[in-house]
């Protein structure tokens, strides 16, 4: 990690301490923020968010610099262990075919598929520690990395099923587990079978158009593959990510909020409505998040894919909550690129999770590996020189087919539901 990243990280910790001191002072005096303190609190939290963005940008820039150095090493004839033939020679196969397609020297359509098993849980490039050092620079993996960065569900460790075709597949879903009981001597043993259902995973088509100037295509100094991977990955990730959170299963995937079960409910007449109430009242404030935490049974909590998920606005409210011992329930990460935690579990934010409100399911917690994402084939790219001929733009169309649903309905993922007015 560079000195710039370290200094930004140190600044982030300093800002967090200022925010913590401000909230501590109000809590010790048993009062709400004054108008000036509220403005300071909002400003500090805004700076925290801005610093997170800057830290990520610096880390991404360092990774791009490393990628560029690898490319220059190849041009100098030095060994390289990244993209290419592994011997410092020019790229061949799928990557060469892709560049020919981008220049208009190949077919008008190309399917970009994974070259082997894809572990989506390792593909986040938020930092080297989050998997950036393990990501190969093939076009498909670069595209998927951007898709993950914009979809909190994929960041959370959802189980991804890659299939070559798009026919509907049936995945068993668990609705109840077996149970056991004490049996007296010579007594009959009751039968208790797990209850199963089925969830159908199809292949809904997501698409985006990306237009590129002719000059950009012909400029050999432009990383066109990286540009298209970023634009397509973000667009497809944003579209699919919204449905993966709140989709109702009608002509779209079933979102995790749709299938998750209730774990904790907020007090009525809270301020704001649907919020966490007052820590001075039993069962409110941090107690609600602790209740939600323990509503998920231990095997799910022990999963490496166990996470909190909420919108940024909700995260801002949770940052202010303390336990009855006066400790903040939200703990900032001390490692660059790693998420903050609540009760030792990582927190991810997604703008598609419902905001705090009456009866709103504004916080998710549980084992996100029980959420299955089905991707049919790779990503299909098609090129048109005629679509925007009058503007001398080349149009690329990216298509992806996907579906998703929660397959364990026994309580793998639980929600916090706001009270009413």
Per-residue pLDDT tens digits for 221-245:
667 778 888 888 899 999 999 999 9
Domain boundaries, the chain: 3-69, 93-176+194-421
Q: What is the mean predicted confidence (pLDDT) over 6-22?
A: 84
Nearest to 205 by CA among 373, 372, 401, 358: 401
pLDDT at residue 89 greater than cutoff 50? no
Which comes out higher in pLDDT, residue 84 or 333? 333
User: Could you report the per-residue pLDDT of 353-389, keeping only the tens digit for each?
Assistant: 999 999 999 999 999 999 999 988 888 888 898 998 9
Which comes out higher in pLDDT, residue 54 or 257? 257
Q: What is the mean predicted confidence (pLDDT) over 256-271?
A: 93
Would you state the pLDDT for residue 370? 92
Task: Of 67-76, 100-109, 313-322, give the lowest mean pLDDT range.
Answer: 67-76
Domain 93-176+194-421 -> CATH class: alpha beta
User: Could you report the per-residue pLDDT of 102-115, keeping only the tens digit for each?
Assistant: 777 667 777 777 66
d(C-alpha 285, C-alpha 156), whole Å: 25
d(C-alpha 205, C-alpha 252), whole Å: 9
Q: What is the mean predicted confidence (pLDDT) over 33-38?
A: 84
> DSSP string of 205-257?
EEEEEEEEEHHHHH-TTS-HHHHHHHHHHHHHHHHHHHHHHH-BSSSSPBPHH
Highest mean pLDDT among 4-8, 60-64, 163-167, 409-413: 409-413
- What lies within 8 Å, CB to CB, of 322 at 6+ separation is 23, 27, 279, 285, 286, 328, 329
- Residue 345 three-state SS: strand
């Amino acid at each position: 990690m560079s000195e710039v990243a370290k200094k930004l990280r140190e600044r982030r910790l300093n800002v967090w301490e200022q925010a913590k001191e401000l909230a501590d002072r109000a809590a010790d005096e048993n009062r709400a923020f004054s108008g000036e303190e509220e403005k300071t609190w909002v400003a500090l939290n805004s700076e925290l968010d801005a610093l997170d963005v800057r830290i990520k940008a610096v880390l991404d820039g360092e990774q791009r610099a490393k990628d560029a150095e690898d490319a220059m090493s190849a041009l100098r004839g030095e060994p390289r262990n990244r993209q290419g033939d592994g011997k410092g020679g020019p790229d061949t196969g799928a990557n060469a075919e892709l560049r020919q397609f981008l220049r208009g020297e190949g077919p008008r359509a190309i399917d970009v598929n994974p070259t082997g098993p894809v572990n989506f849980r390792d593909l986040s490039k938020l930092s080297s520690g989050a998997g950036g050092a393990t990501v190969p620079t093939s076009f498909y993996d670069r595209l998927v990395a951007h898709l993950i960065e914009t979809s909190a569900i994929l960041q959370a460790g959802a189980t991804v099923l890659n299939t070559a075709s798009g026919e509907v597949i049936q995945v068993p879903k668990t609705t109840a587990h077996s149970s056991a009981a004490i049996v007296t001597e010579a007594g009959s043993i009751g039968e208790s079978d797990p209850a199963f259902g089925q969830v159908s995973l199809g292949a809904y088509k997501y698409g985006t158009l990306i237009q590129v100037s002719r000059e950009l295509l012909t400029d050999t100094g432009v990383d066109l593959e990286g540009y298209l991977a970023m634009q397509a990955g973000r667009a497809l990730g944003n579209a699919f990510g919204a449905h993966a959170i709140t989709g109702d299963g009608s002509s779209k995937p079933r979102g995790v909020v749709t299938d998750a079960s209730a774990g904790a409910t907020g007090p009525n007449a809270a301020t704001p409505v649907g919020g966490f109430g007052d820590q001075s009242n039993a069962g409110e404030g941090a107690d609600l998040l602790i209740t939600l935490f323990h509503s998920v049974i231990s095997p799910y909590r022990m999963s490496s894919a166990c996470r909190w998920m909420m919108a940024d606005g909700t995260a801002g409210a949770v940052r202010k909550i303390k336990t009855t011992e006066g400790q903040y329930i939200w703990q900032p990460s001390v490692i660059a690129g790693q998420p903050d935690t609540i009760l030792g579990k990582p927190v991810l934010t997604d703008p598609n999770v419902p905001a705090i409100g009456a009866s709103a399911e504004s916080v998710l917690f549980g084992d996100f590996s029980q959420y299955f994402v089905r991707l049919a084939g790779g990503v299909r790219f098609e090129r048109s020189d005629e679509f925007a001929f009058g503007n001398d733009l080349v149009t690329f169309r990216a298509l992806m087919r996907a579906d998703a649903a929660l397959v364990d309905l026994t309580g793998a993922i639980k929600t916090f539901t706001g009270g009413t007015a």
